[in-house]
Amino acid sequence: MLLKVQELVAAGQPLDLQGTLDMSDLFQNNSEYSPLSPMKFDVTAQAVGDRILVSGQLSCDIRLQCSRCLEKFDETISVPFEEQFRIIEDSETEVSENDDAVPVSEERIDLSPYLLEGLVVQLPYAPLCSEDCKGLCLDCGKNLNEQSCGCNTEKIDPRMAALQDWFKSQKE
Ligand SMILES: [Zn+2]
Ligand SMILES: [Zn+2]
């Protein structure tokens, strides 16, 4: 998705950009995140002084793996997007450290990597199929959402366990 900088500045008005970006390459070798659709973007680019502000909404359908029960589930992710670019001259080397804006000197900005990153960083880090997912039994590995197992999952306080072992060894 190329944004033509001079055209945008010359137009003197915001430019709406809509389209899709393929994400399958990005998650090719990833079993936890499988995109079910290309990413959709609907953003507005606006030139303000020496800056270009791009903001809007990103969305995609994605298959996620629950971090507790490891089951796959599908979700539609929709997140806001905002990025700022600063037009600089080729000769300009001084870059303010307090400036979040991405310096650009080319006539065209390829927005694709910024849009993709904008969505990816907001994907759930530890996805959950549901808020109260019971997860897997730590002993037998059964999915506790589907059936309960007969395991004794009562939590044993490790301090008490140590004490019990110690008492036992004293008696022997
Ligand atoms: Zn789950
Ligand atoms: Zn079990």
* Cα 157 to middle of ligand 2, angstroms: 19
Mean per-residue pLDDT, 65-71: 95
CB 71 within 8 A of CB 58: no
CA of 71, nearest ligand number: 1
pLDDT digits (tens, 9 = 90+) for 124-155: 999 999 999 999 998 899 999 999 888 876 66
* Cα 4 to middle of ligand 2, angstroms: 59
The pLDDT score that the predictor gives to residue 94 is 64
Could you tell me which of 123, 111, 99 has the C-alpha nearest to residue 43? 111
Residue linked to tokens 């998650």? 27
170: CB partners within 8 A, 6+ apart: none
* Cα 140 to middle of ligand 2, angstroms: 4
The pLDDT score that the predictor gives to residue 88 is 85
* Cα 89 to middle of ligand 2, angstroms: 64
Which of the four pLDDT bands, split at 50, 70 and 90, describes residue 37?
A: very high
The pLDDT score that the predictor gives to residue 154 is 65
* Cα 156 to middle of ligand 2, angstroms: 15
The pLDDT score that the predictor gives to residue 167 is 84
pLDDT digits (tens, 9 = 90+) for 90-107: 766 666 667 788 888 888
CA of 127, nearest ligand number: 1
**Domain boundaries, given as residue ranges, for the chain:** 2-132, 134-172
- Distinct helix (H) and strand (E) counts, the chain: 3, 8
